[in-house]
Structure 1
Amino acid sequence: MTDATADTLSAISSVQAALSVLATLQLTAYRYPPDTALTNSTEYDYIIVGAGTAGSALAYRLSSDCKKKVLLVEAGSYPPFESEMPLMFTTTPKTAFDYDTSSVNDNYTAQNLQDHIVSLTQGKMLGGSSNIGHMIHVQGDPHDYNNWANILGDDTWSYENVLPYFKKFENLIDVDLLATKYANLHGTDGLVKITRQIADDDSFYKEAFEELGHKIVDDTTSLTSSLGVSNPLLTIGDNLRQSSSLCYLAPAKARSNLHVALSTTATKILIKDKVAVGVQVVTSSGETLELYANKEVIVSAGAIHTPQLLMLSGIGPKSHLEEKGISVIADLPVGENFMDHTVVVVVVQMEADTSTPPATNPFEFPVPMTTLYAALNASQTYPDYQDINLLFPHDSAAMMQLCANSFKYSHDVCNKFAEANVGRKVFLAVHNLMMPKSTGKVLLASTDPTVEPLVYTGTYTNEYDLDLMTESLMDFAKVLETKNFKARDAKLVDTGLCTGLSGREFWKCYSLAMSATMWHYSGTAAMGKVVDNHLLVKGVSNLRVADASVMPTLVSGNIKAAVTMIGERAAGFITGD
């Protein structure tokens, strides 16, 4: 068989080359505030570094007061037009719109990914990773936020008290769901439209999990437990991806008090007598400027670049900063506690299929999808693992794009999946742990801000996670024995990585061999350690962090909704709303 993975990557490269030409036309620029021409020493009330998921929300909320002058600094530019189309999310990694940071090879995990490293895809554009992610909207389990409240000793972050901030930005437009009990747990007049896609075949797969004792639910959002199998909520509305840029920055286009500086990199937070007074930036023309904030500097650059900027500014672990020759302003564990949802991908070969697949709608998620949240302990109300289950037709280019260009599995692995997909449907499960105990760290590779930091993922550094992944995969694999899967001649696709092993030994081997990322980086400026309960950096006044880096623990599910909530919450702290 030909190298299907090489063919896929070549095809994607050709598409990316064509799209890069279109990107020069800036076809989405008309939606957004114009690029600001910066002048040295200009003063603003607030300077926000990073126009991603949380930063866009902050910019909208803070600039709603026309008396406040807000500067939003973004290293990228306008999102490309294809980012608005839900179908095309697999084309964005490794382009100008992706930071394309890579992990440090630990010679243990990720060894069956391309180059034996994790490609830490992150959006570099207005809207950040909300323009590059997979559009699943999930609040998380109430236990997640109640745990935050316990860790911090502050009910501010309990589920009861964060729910209003979810509802503030949500606009549930799914008519059927609005007629259920779940409607009360969602907003209906927020800026971000959310809905579901339900395919004809979905009930077949949900019933298979129901046979194993999992509940079929309309929505896993709940005041008590998020367990069950459902069609997930998606941030898709009006035939467009509901990114933070589209939902928050586009409506603020005409605000004269909101200034957006594109292709501009913040290189240092200006701190005087332990008070943040502004930022140093390098503009698209290479000019270095100093800009000042009369009220606050808010860093929303994400869990990799927020710690980089803080450390470059003298806020971080004393020994590391001194090693780099950086004067220490605040000795804090910045960059530590790096978290991500640990992932392995499982592919099941399903029934023979020679039918012609219907044309793909570019304005919808490309394939049928269900999600399962499950606990290994029957008495536990919150999930140990999540499965995002995707059904691909025979000979699917989309499946190969996901394997080769999103997860970036090796050619050998993806070719095995391609072989199984010839003339047969495949069921692909993205299986990930909700609360891994392993943590990694982000360190400076250089004092040069243009050099990407070192990211040590820390995957499986705590043996508990490898054991839990093994047990949870064994639990998930029971679906192969259900009547629905047997009726379709379902078979686990052999990657060739754990040949000769069976049972628990096989799944432990598989857990390690197929380890990858869920792109849910967080925790590197955690509340209680680096920032206080109102997200203010300890030991430095007028400096706040608002993005995934402030999470003390992960949440149970895809993190975009939680990060948006953090942006909304930070705006509330600042404005007193």
Structure 2
Amino acid sequence: MGILGLFFAVFIACAAAAEFPFPLQEAHNVELTQDYDYIIVGGGATGCALAATLSENFRVLLLERGGSPYNNPLLMRVENFFLGFLDDGAQNFVTTEGVANARGRVLGGGSSINAGFWDRAPASEIAQLGLDPVKANTSYTWAENAIVSLPVLGPFQSAFHKGLVEVGVTPDLGATYEHFVGTKTGGSLYDSNGQRRPSSNLIAAYANATNLQVVLHATVTKVQFDDGLSKPTAIGVEFVDELGQIHAAFLKADERSEVILSASAIGTPHLLMMSGVGPAEHLKQKGIPVILDLPVGKNIADNPATRLYVPSMSPVEPALVQVAGITPFGSYIEALSGVQNLQGSVIFQKVVGPKSTGEVLIDSMDIRQNPSVTFNYYKDPEDLQICVGGLNVIEELLLSKSMTPFVNGMQAMPSGNILGLPIRKFYPKEMIDMALGAYCKANVGTMWHYHGSCRVGQVVDAQFKVLGTEQLRIVDGSVFDFCPGTNPQATFIMTGRYMGVEITSRRLTS
């Protein structure tokens, strides 16, 4: 089938999503008729939850640099997952290490292009972030009631779940949103018909339409400050539309009003630096006047992943991530199957944490272009050892009875052995681990779980307010110094709701 035939089949076979039942404006036609209590930069996973919550009581402007995912089956249908990365909703880039990556550039952000897995962070990680566990649970539930459900597993995903338990990733946790060591079937943003429910659905479910203005194709180029006060004070933003026209939006003249950055662990530090907040020497090199010297963009991290394609002897159902093996040593093992007519599966492991970190730096002075991003994958040897442990589990999984119908004897293993000749049991563990370590390094990939570029205590305080400024806050994955859960989107969305409730409560009682 040619490329035109492929796209014709995709669009005919897949019903488009219903129109989004909430007014969305295009930046080139927008009318900013009043000032705002809150201007939120970034309509991604966190920003949509935050905007929906704050709009219950305040006038909110949500600016999203991309378009809408609705009525786009490349983004909204489970079977088109890989094709979604060819859409404008994904902004692709390559790290300085040469690893291909992608950023969300669409309403819903990563939740509109990712595999949709839903896993709450463990209680210890909630405490590490300084959040109240009871309030966090309430915020998770708020989102789950609107956009999450537990999937019914097909033949492959069932075998994958059983196989992980068989090889010792125990206990069998059944189906749950909670995070514990063992094997679980987690939640999904996809419904039973394979339709995606991105975080932007939270706006339709909960937002006050009279208080919330959502503007698409609005790329914020600068946070505007009044630097004549004792501290640099955010007063608004500048943004550019698709036609290149520049617009400005302003906060109300109220010291409680805020610009809130929810532009992701890559977009938020990029915008801050372009606005004059960041490492002073780097900003001076780029000719940007320094408003505040902060380690913005430092210590960004991405959980390194290693994938293995496994052709199947039996039919496999189209499914993205539905099952997770959570090992006690810090490797998370997941799989997707049958996507884009794939007659097989992709099994992968990713490293918890990680301990290795890098940085975001300005490259082009056009903020619409990607910044320079370095993750330093496996720089810390502990990350590499976790990868080796995860690949050992995957090799044992491929040899399990549960997986027999979905593998074949010619399957190549990461250690260099062939599945039909399972001679790994005769090799010294040191030799196998050495081979697996080389495989980890040679096949490093991303799971798009960027975080940590504006960390608490370094760039923001415990309430995520930018240190040394007034009326400027960050609420997104950049404030995290770890990747929460097996997949962070649940906790990023929860944090948007949580902080929206906290901001509302403090303002209404002040």
TM-score bucket (shorter structure): 0.7 to 0.9
Query: In the alignment, which of 122, 135, 138 is matched to residue 164 of structure 1?
Result: 138
Q: What is the match of residue 339 of structure 1?
A: 301
Query: In the alignment, which of 434, 446, 464 is matched to residue 505 of structure 1?
Result: 434
Q: What is the match of residue 393 of structure 2?
A: 475
Q: Does 1:234 align with 2:177?
A: no
Verify the 8 A CA contact 1:230 1:370 in the aligned structure 2. Answer: yes
SS in 1 for 2:258: strand
Query: In the alignment, which of 195, 204, 208 is matched to residue 163 of structure 2?
Result: 208
Q: What is the match of residue 498 of structure 2?
A: 569
Q: Within 5 Å, give how 1:427-438 maps onto structure 2.
A: 427-438=345-356
SS in 2 for 1:121: strand
Q: What is the match of residue 402 of structure 1?
A: none
Measured in 1, the distance between the counterparts of 2:463 and 2:358 equals 24
Q: What is the match of residue 248 of structure 2?
A: 290
Task: For residue 63 of structure 1, report the CA deviation from its aligned partner.
Answer: 1.2
SS in 2 for 1:305: helix
Q: What is the match of residue 530 of structure 1?
A: 459
SS in 2 for 1:217: strand
For 1:311, give the aligned amino acid.
M
After superposing the two structures, state which structure 1 stretch, 240-249 or 515-524, moved more. Answer: 240-249
Distance of aligned partners of 1:481 and 1:100 in 2 relative to their CA distance in 1, 3 Å threshold: closer
Distance of aligned partners of 1:204 and 1:250 in 2 relative to their CA distance in 1, 3 Å threshold: closer
Q: What is the match of residue 327 of structure 2?
A: 374
Task: For residue 477 of structure 1, report the CA deviation from its aligned partner.
Answer: 2.1
Q: Does 1:217 align with 2:141?
A: no
Q: Within 5 Å, give how 1:347-358 maps onto structure 2.
A: 347-349=309-311, 352-353=313-314, 357=315
Task: For residue 229 of structure 1, report the CA deviation from its aligned partner.
Answer: 1.2
Task: For residue 34 of structure 1, report the CA deviation from its aligned partner.
Answer: 3.0
Measured in 2, the distance between the counterparts of 1:250 and 1:322 equals 45
Q: What is the match of residue 544 of structure 1?
A: 473
Q: What is the match of residue 424 of structure 2?
A: none
Query: In the alignment, which of 48, 52, 70 is matched to residue 44 of structure 2?
Result: 52
Q: Does 1:493 align with 2:467?
A: no
Task: For residue 192 of structure 1, report the CA deviation from its aligned partner.
Answer: 2.4
Query: In the alignment, which of 443, 449, 454 is matched to residue 372 of structure 2?
Result: 454
Q: What is the match of residue 421 of structure 2?
A: none
Distance of aligned partners of 1:193 and 1:97 in 2 relative to their CA distance in 1, 3 Å threshold: same
Q: Does 1:91 align with 2:83?
A: yes
Measured in 2, the distance between the counterparts of 1:489 and 1:52 equals 38
Q: What is the match of residue 77 of structure 1?
A: 67
Measured in 2, the distance between the counterparts of 1:461 and 1:497 equals 21
Measured in 1, the distance between the counterparts of 2:434 and 2:177 equals 35
Q: Does 1:557 align with 2:475?
A: no
C-alpha deviations, 1:2-39, integer Å up to 9, x for none?
A: xxxxx9xx7499629987xx9xxx97655331316445
Verify the 8 A CA contact 2:151 2:192 in the aligned structure 1. Answer: no
Verify the 8 A CA contact 2:18 2:70 in the aligned structure 1. Answer: yes
Q: Does 1:248 align with 2:194?
A: no
Verify the 8 A CA contact 1:526 1:549 in the aligned structure 2. Answer: yes
Task: For residue 455 of structure 1, report the CA deviation from its aligned partner.
Answer: 0.8
Measured in 1, the distance between the counterparts of 2:471 and 2:477 equals 19
Q: Does 1:516 align with 2:490?
A: no
Verify the 8 A CA contact 2:184 2:325 in the aligned structure 1. Answer: yes
Q: Does 1:439 align with 2:357?
A: yes
Measured in 2, the distance between the counterparts of 1:440 and 1:12 equals 41
Q: What is the match of residue 147 of structure 2?
A: 192
SS in 2 for 1:92: helix
Measured in 2, the distance between the counterparts of 1:324 and 1:532 equals 27
Verify the 8 A CA contact 1:51 1:126 in the aligned structure 2. Answer: yes
Verify the 8 A CA contact 2:414 2:439 in the aligned structure 1. Answer: no
Measured in 2, the distance between the counterparts of 1:243 and 1:279 equals 26
C-alpha deviations, 1:393-435, integer Å up to 9, x for none?
A: xxx7443xxxxxxxxxxxxxxxxxxxxx6xxxx4531211112
Verify the 8 A CA contact 2:415 2:436 in the aligned structure 1. Answer: no
SS in 1 for 2:236: strand
Give ranges in structure 1 of 5+ residues lacking alignment: 1-6, 107-116, 149-155, 172-190, 377-383, 400-420
Q: What is the match of residue 407 of structure 1?
A: none
Query: In the alignment, which of 272, 287, 292 is matched to residue 325 of structure 1?
Result: 287
Distance of aligned partners of 1:391 and 1:57 in 2 relative to their CA distance in 1, 3 Å threshold: closer
Q: Does 1:275 align with 2:233?
A: yes
Distance of aligned partners of 1:492 and 1:61 in 2 relative to their CA distance in 1, 3 Å threshold: farther
After superposing the two structures, state which structure 1 stretch, 438-447 or 85-94, moved more. Answer: 85-94
Q: What is the match of residue 274 of structure 2?
A: 312
Task: For residue 484 of structure 1, report the CA deviation from its aligned partner.
Answer: 3.6
SS in 2 for 1:100: strand
Verify the 8 A CA contact 1:199 1:368 in the aligned structure 2. Answer: no
Task: For residue 320 of structure 1, report the CA deviation from its aligned partner.
Answer: 1.0
Task: For residue 47 of structure 1, report the CA deviation from its aligned partner.
Answer: 0.7
SS in 2 for 1:291: strand
Verify the 8 A CA contact 2:398 2:407 in the aligned structure 1. Answer: no
Distance of aligned partners of 1:488 and 1:194 in 2 relative to their CA distance in 1, 3 Å threshold: closer
TM-score, with structure 2 as normaliser = 0.85
Task: For residue 216 of structure 1, report the CA deviation from its aligned partner.
Answer: 1.2
Task: For residue 284 of structure 1, report the CA deviation from its aligned partner.
Answer: 2.7
Give ranges in structure 2 of 5+ residues lacking alignment: 419-426
Distance of aligned partners of 1:487 and 1:59 in 2 relative to their CA distance in 1, 3 Å threshold: closer
Q: Within 5 Å, give how 1:131-146 maps onto structure 2.
A: 131-146=112-127
For 1:317, give the aligned amino acid.
P
Q: Aligned-residue CA RMSD in angstroms?
A: 3.1
Measured in 1, the distance between the counterparts of 2:407 and 2:368 equals 52
For 1:199, give the aligned amino acid.
G
C-alpha deviations, 1:544-566, integer Å up to 9, x for none?
A: 11111111211231111011011
Q: What is the match of residue 112 of structure 1?
A: none
Distance of aligned partners of 1:219 and 1:146 in 2 relative to their CA distance in 1, 3 Å threshold: farther
Verify the 8 A CA contact 1:445 1:454 in the aligned structure 2. Answer: yes
Task: For residue 457 of structure 1, report the CA deviation from its aligned partner.
Answer: 1.9
Verify the 8 A CA contact 1:497 1:513 in the aligned structure 2. Answer: no
Distance of aligned partners of 1:322 and 1:497 in 2 relative to their CA distance in 1, 3 Å threshold: farther
Distance of aligned partners of 1:437 and 1:77 in 2 relative to their CA distance in 1, 3 Å threshold: same
Measured in 1, the distance between the counterparts of 2:495 and 2:121 equals 13
For 1:197, give the aligned amino acid.
V
Q: Does 1:126 align with 2:137?
A: no
Distance of aligned partners of 1:235 and 1:331 in 2 relative to their CA distance in 1, 3 Å threshold: same
Question: How many residues are treated as equivalent by the alignment?
Answer: 479
Distance of aligned partners of 1:508 and 1:34 in 2 relative to their CA distance in 1, 3 Å threshold: closer
C-alpha deviations, 1:76-135, integer Å up to 9, x for none?
A: 12214212322222211132111223212x2xxxxxxxxxx3332222121111110111
Measured in 1, the distance between the counterparts of 2:320 and 2:453 equals 34
